[in-house]
Structure 1
Amino acid sequence: MVDDMKMRAGQCHCGTVRFEVTLSDGLNSIRRCTCSYCRLRGAVVAMAEMGGIRFLQGEDVLTSYRFHTGSAQHFFCSRCGIYTHHQRRSDQSLYAVNVACLDGVSPFDFPEVPVMDGVNHTNDTGRPTRRAGTLRFISTD
C-alpha cells in the first residue's frame, strides 16, 4: 500500500502535462464512480481542493469534456489522451485526480477502493452520496 503523503508530482503518459498536487486527505480519499463516464474510464481518483493543482508544463494542451448537466469538467492530455483530473459535479471546490498519473502510485496499490453511486448522483436525487460497493484487488504474488 502506498503512503498517504499529501503533496505529489504527476504527469500524463507522454509527459507533456506535468503537475504538482496537494491531496486534501492524502490517498485516504480514493474512490471510483459508477456514472456512465467514470464507468467507462475506470480510474481511481483522490481529492484535491480548488487551487491544489499546480501545472509545471502542458496546461495548454489539456482538453476538457463535459456531459449531462455540464457541471463536471474532465481534463485529459490532447496528445496521449490520458485523463489527469476533473472538477467534481457534487462539490465544485474539489478536483478528483487520477492516481495512476501520480509518481510512484498505481491503482493496483490499493487492496480496496470504495465505489460511489454516480448513477444515482446526489445532485439528481437530493440524497447523500451512496457507496455502491467496493472494488477489490487481490495480488497473485
Structure 2
Amino acid sequence: MIRTFNGSCHCGAVRLRCDIDLAQPTSRCNCSMCTKTRLWKTMAQPGSFAFVQGEDAVAAYRFGGHRVEHRFCMRCGVKLGGHGAKGEHFPQDFDVVSIACLDDMSDDVKAGLRVEYQDGRHDDWAHAPVPVPPL
C-alpha cells in the first residue's frame, strides 16, 4: 500500500514529502555512516521524493565509493536520508528517507514495518551481514 508522508528535520528548516510503499521492507545498514547515525531507512517511490521547504539548508556527504549522497540538515544536523545514482550496485536512481524524519507516520505504522539488514560495510548489498557472536 503506497501512502504519502511528510517529514522534517529537528529544527524544521527542511521539510520533505514522499510516497512510501508500506508493503516493501525498510532497511538498516551496517556501513560506518548508517551505524553511527543509527539510520533506519525506507525507499521513496521513484519520482515521489521532494523537498518542499529548505532545500538550501540540506548538506550532502559522500564517502567510500561516493555512490550514495548522505543528506542532512546543516542547521540542526539531523540525517534526512540519501540519494544514490544508478550504477554497479544499484539498478536505478533512488532516494531513501529516514523513518525518524517522517512526522506523520504513526507509531503503529512504524511497528508494522518489516526490517531487512544490509551489509554495506562489505559492499555486499545482496546479503544480510553475518551476525557477530557476543563476547
Give the shorter-chain TM-score range: 0.7 to 0.9
2:76 aligns with: 80
**Matches of 1:119 and 1:60 in 2, distance apart?**
30
2:123 maps to which of 118, 121, 124: 121
1:104 aligns with: 104
Q: Is the 8 A contact 1:27 1:46 kept in 2?
A: no
1:6 aligns with: 3
Q: Please, which runs of 5 or more residues in structure 2 have no aligned partner? A: none
Shift of 1:107: 8.1
Shift of 1:88: 3.2
Relative to the length of structure 2, the TM-score reads 0.79
Q: Is the 8 A contact 1:31 1:116 kept in 2?
A: yes
- Assess, with a 3 A threshold, how the Cα gap between structure 1 residues 107 and 31 changes in structure 2: closer, same or farther: farther
1:59 maps to which of 32, 41, 55: 55
1:94 aligns with: 94
Shift of 1:110: 3.1
Q: Number of residue pairs matched?
A: 125
- The one-letter code sitting in structure 1 at the alignment partner of 2:37 is R
- Assess, with a 3 A threshold, how the Cα gap between structure 1 residues 40 and 106 changes in structure 2: closer, same or farther: farther
Q: Is the 8 A contact 2:27 2:40 kept in 1?
A: yes
Relative to the length of structure 1, the TM-score reads 0.76
Shift of 1:67: 0.3
Q: Share of identical aligned residues, percent?
A: 32
1:30 maps to which of 26, 32, 44: 26
What value does the CA root-mean-square deviation take over the aligned residues? 2.6
Shift of 1:105: 3.2
Q: Please, which runs of 5 or more residues in structure 1 have no aligned partner? A: 123-127, 135-141
Shift of 1:106: 6.9
Q: Is the 8 A contact 2:25 2:116 kept in 1?
A: no
**Matches of 1:107 and 1:121 in 2, distance apart?**
31
**Matches of 1:117 and 1:60 in 2, distance apart?**
32
